[in-house]
Amino acid sequence: MTSTFPAARTAIVTGAASPRGIGRATVSRLARDGWNIGIIDLDGDACRQLAAELETEFGISAAGAGANVADEAAVRAAVDELEAALPQIVALVNIAGISSATPYLDLDPGEWARVLDVDLNGVHYVSRRVAESMVKSGVGRIVSISSVSAQRGGGTYSKTPYSVAKAGVIGLTRALARELGPLGVTVNAIAPGPIDTDIMGGTLTDERKAAMAADLLVGRVGTVDDIAVAVEFLVREDTAFITGHTLNVDGGLYMN
């Protein structure tokens, strides 16, 4: 099925409120392309403030709603609110996530559940709610941020529950691609390598960046824009033939 985008379209982006994060760079890039933007992150005020900034800078419509993506009822309420305020939802970008550096033998059940709840169940809850709207209109793009950690068993900062959750995101992506493809919705994942944000235990020092870059083929760690441009590509109308794919954006860290 090849479906046409409406003239006015909205991208829902989770995890966009962090000022130095991948989500923040992504909403700017999508707004620059003319997407209207719905933001979901933990702090509702921060979401609404970012939405106002995007409206001023890019002349699009934007709205924000606070929700913990691990809370399905809160997710559904937030998407309801954004859908009522904005044009047709055509894209969903699942970016919200947390890291977890606890070694396996030190894990307690709470840490395992905390990471799986946000990094895997959160992607499911938002995807499920947004997919309900997309299939009604017969067009959609879902892009979820996995990690090279899913493919290499960690190796950068986060450990087991994070790798498991991010591997789950790849499985979810493939299964959703299969079910939603005939209904006009493509579903893809991005597996970033190490990106210069604050998620790996705070802002990266030059020494940590150099150590991470030593494993990469391009001589540097990634930037938030390296990921945002990949999202921008996968939500385009004319990338409708790409689905069920995991796009590594990792400086050559993992080749498959």
Q: Active-site residues: which are they?
A: 162
With tokens 């800078």, the residue in question is: 57
136 φ/ψ sector (left φ>0, alpha ψ -120 to 50, else beta): alpha
For the bound state, the minimum distance from the C-beta of residue 241 to ligand NAD, rounded and expressed in Å, comes to 25
For the bound state, the minimum distance from the C-beta of residue 153 to ligand NAD, rounded and expressed in Å, comes to 14
C-alpha 208 chain-centroid distance: 24
For the bound state, the minimum distance from the C-beta of residue 97 to ligand NAD, rounded and expressed in Å, comes to 2
Q: Which lies closer to ligand NAD via its Cβ, residue 119 or residue 240?
A: 119
Quote the CA–CA distance of 30 and 37 in Å, as a whole number. 8
Amino acid letter, 235: V
Residue 195 token pair: 């990106």
DSSP 183: G
Catalog residues that contact ligand NAD under the rule CB under 6 A.
14-15, 17-18, 20-23, 41-42, 68-70, 95-98, 118, 122, 145, 147, 192, 194-195, 197-200
42: closest CA among 108, 95, 121, 85?
Answer: 95
Helix H or strand E segment including 63: strand 62-66
Q: Which lies closer to ligand NAD via its Cβ, residue 88 or residue 248?
A: 248
Q: Which lies closer to ligand NAD via its Cβ, residue 22 or residue 176?
A: 22
Quote the CA–CA distance of 253 and 80 in Å, as a whole number. 39
C-alpha 255 chain-centroid distance: 21
The closest residue (CB) to ligand NAD is 97
Q: At 187, is the secondary structure helix, strand, or coil?
A: strand
Q: Which lies closer to ligand NAD via its Cβ, residue 180 or residue 200?
A: 200
For the bound state, the minimum distance from the C-beta of residue 2 to ligand NAD, rounded and expressed in Å, comes to 30
For the bound state, the minimum distance from the C-beta of residue 84 to ligand NAD, rounded and expressed in Å, comes to 20
Sheet order of strands, 185-192 included:
62-66, 36-41, 10-14, 89-94, 140-145, 185-192, 246-249
Q: Which lies closer to ligand NAD via its Cβ, residue 97 or residue 154?
A: 97
